[in-house]
Structure formats: structure tokens, C-alpha cells
Amino acid sequence: MGMAAKAHGMDGTLVEADWPPLALDEVRLLFERFPDFAAPLEIISTSPRPFSAASVVKIGARKVFVKRHHRAVRDHEGLAEEHRFMDHLRRNGAAVPRVLATPKGESAIEIGEWTYEVHELPDGIDLYEDAVSWTPFRSATHARAAGKALASLHEAARGFDAPVRKIQPLVAGFSIFASADPAGSMERYCADRPALRDHAETRRHCDVSLELLWPFHAELSPLLPALNPLWTHNDLHASNLFWTDTGQDARATAIIDFGLADRSTAVHDLALALERNVVEWLDLVRDPAHSGDVPVYLDHAFALLEGYEEVRRLSEEEAAALAPMLALCHAEFALTEADYFLGVLHSEEKARMATDGYLVAHARWFRSKSGEDLLNALRVWSRTRSQRRNEKE
């Protein structure tokens, strides 16, 4: 399959990819399942995303996006869960890519140890194609556009009543801190994933994170009954959007990459969008001793929230839940990353970065003055937002 490409590392640098890039011969073999794809092929770009191999492929005058997963990460059933959600969103007016199916109706195609999917390219441009997760928007206007796009997706997601996804790596659900007993839920979460269950260092990091995060769960707990279940994207950072143009006032044209989607709640997804985009977490990775110097983009946070509420108004309980949810929302993804690193890549070093450097370090940051300042700003936003609504009424 050729030499390894470069991918985004966990510290934001480019590193050797874990998965070999797509090769022309394997794409030709895949496209034998699609009779319309008979024109000459050309691989015109290789994605730097780390958890799979993906490329834009030109077939004659047409371009499509091809993504390959190891079957230990996504088998046919696991990928079909995402595709059913995307199909529901499209049928309800959301701007998401169409997943192409073979004449037999297969959109998740298993060949050997791999599972493939083929998407139409959405309208617009991939403005943040090379941006790493946890890097900010280029402007507050982009943040507002992202908020509007996320709210539109949540509106379109209504009525999709599939259960939570089956247990598999790299799914960002919301179960541990949705429980009245997060310690017991975290224990069950790890027990269901042998790579986590049998790894003593990960279990120690889980215990530390629970101690750090318990005040936020105590704040969130009374609000949980009012947070309605909803299938959500769970990874809305700037590079998972397509855009109208390269300007500071560009609008979002589509949302892509539903690999982390699962049944959670709208406010959990909104908190993840803030977590992904308004804190320079990579500065914390590079210099953990100076956590107080990590930049926080409050103007982007409020712009994203304002854009969201232009389309979908948060309930009072959702608005109040946003601050504690922001401190908690990273935990489950950190653990599913660790499960992937231990169970699929067999990398102790990367698993340690996911648990100690992500799960614990982010939890500790939210207990610091800088983290509390961000959360207090959201608490004030929630209270003043309610007052403004009451005054208008």
C-alpha cells in the first residue's frame, strides 16, 4: 500500500501516520463495486487525520472522498450506524455529504481487513483542511457560522431514535457523567473494554479524573432529567466544516466526519464544540507547567452560542448545564481514544497521552483559575441570557 503518509500527532505536529495511505490499486478494487466508476482514477489529496486513511479521488471529471478504516475500528455494522444517521439528517434538510452505495445497497464495504466508505464532496471549500483539532477559528464570524450549522444539524436530528452505538473504539458518547453514579458507570465502561479493564495505569488515571471532576457532575446532576436524548455529531471543530470562501466572513456550507456520532444530548454536543475550538489545548500539551497561560477565546465562544441560538433556542436547563458539561464532555472521548491506542495500535505511550495528558490534565485545568474563569463566564452568560428573555416577555 505504499509508504506511510504524515498525520496530525497528539501534540499538533506532523508525524508518521499509523495507517498506510490509500493506493490506486486498492481504490480500483473498491470501485469495482460501483459500476459507474469506470473512468481513469487519480488520488489528488491525502488527509492528515490520524485515525483512518482517506483521500479525495478524481474519477474522470468527478471527485469523491474515500475513507478506509481498519475493521477493528469500524466494521460494516459500526459504519452503517453512522450512515443511517447521515441519511436521516440529509432527508431532514441538513447539509451533510451523501454516502454512496453500491447497486446492492452497501455503503460500508468490507474488503480484507479494511472497511471502506465513499462520500460525495459537499458544496464549498475545505478551508481548515490542515488545521489540527483544538486550534481556534480564524474569526468570531466563523464561530457564529459553526454554531448555526450545529443547531441546524440538531433540528434535523430530531426523530432519529436509534439506540446508543455498539461498543467500539472512537465513539464520543455521553454515559459516564449522565449517570447518578459516575464512578460505577466508569467502572462498567472500562469493564466492557478489555484493553482499558486490564490496564492498571489507565484505571489509576480514571480514579484521579473522577476526583477532579466530581464538583462538575454535582452541578450538572440536577439538570440531567431535562436534557433530552438526541443523536449528535460530537466532533464539531472548524476542520469538520466546509465553507463558502476563504474570507473572515465565510459561512459554513456543510458538516462532515460523523465518526464520533452517537446518542447523547444537544448540550453535550454544544459543549464539545466549545471544547474543541475555544481553548488552545495544544499549549497545555507543550507546556503543562504554565496552564494559566493557555489562551481562551471567549469572543469565539459567545459568537458560537449566539449563532446556535439564532437557529435553536436552548432551554433554561440546557443553558445552565453548559458550564459543567464543558468540564465533563472530554472524559468519554479520552477513554475511547485510550481504548483505541491500547486495543488497536498497542501503544502504551499514546494511551498515556490520552489519559494522563488529556483526561486528567484537562480535568485539572478546569479546576484551575483559568478553567474556572471560562466556566464562570458561561455561568454568567446563562444567567444574563435568562434575564434578557424574561425582560422581553
Enumerate residues 6+ apart whose C-beta is below 8 A from 199. 338, 342, 351
Q: How many contiguous H segments (helices) and E segments (strands) does the chain have?
A: 14, 11
Once rounded to an integer, what is the mean pLDDT over residues 66-81? Answer: 96
pLDDT at 134 over 90: no
What is the three-state SS of 33-99? CCCCCCCCEEEEEECCCCCCEEEEEEECCEEEEEEEEECCCCCHHHHHHHHHHHHHHHHCCCCCCCE
pLDDT tens-digit map of 258-302: 999 999 999 999 999 999 999 998 888 887 777 778 899 999 999
Classify domain 140-392 at the CATH superfamily level: Aminoglycoside phosphotransferase (APH), C-terminal lobe (3.90.1200.10)
Q: What are phi and psi of 367, to 5 degrees?
A: -90, -5
pLDDT at 10: 52
Cell triple for 207 = 480514579
pLDDT at 38: 74
pLDDT tens-digit map of 13-44: 555 778 999 999 999 999 999 988 877 789 99
pLDDT-based confidence at residue 70 (cuts at 50, 70, 90): very high
pLDDT tens-digit map of 189-205: 999 999 999 999 999 99
Cell triple for 247 = 474570507
Q: What are phi and psi of 44, to 5 degrees?
A: -105, -10
**Residue ranges covered by each domain of the chain:** 6-120, 140-392
Give the C-alpha separation, 148 to 310, whole Å. Answer: 7
CB neighbour class for 179 (10 Å; exposed up to 12, middle 13-18, buried from 19): middle
pLDDT at 293: 83
Residues 12, 15, 18, 19, Cα dihedral to 10°: 100
pLDDT at 131: 78
pLDDT at 94 over 90: yes
Give the C-alpha separation, 126 to 238, whole Å. Answer: 10
Is residue 14 within 8 A of residue 8, CB to CB? The reply is yes
pTM for the structure as a whole: 0.93
**Across the strands, what pairs with 116?**
68, 109
- What are the C-alpha distances in Å from 311 to residues 91, 275, 308? 18, 21, 6
> What is 345-377 written as a DSSP string?
S--HHHHHHHIIIIIIHHHHHHTSHHHHHHHHH
pLDDT at 7: 43
CATH architecture of 6-120: 2-Layer Sandwich (3.30)
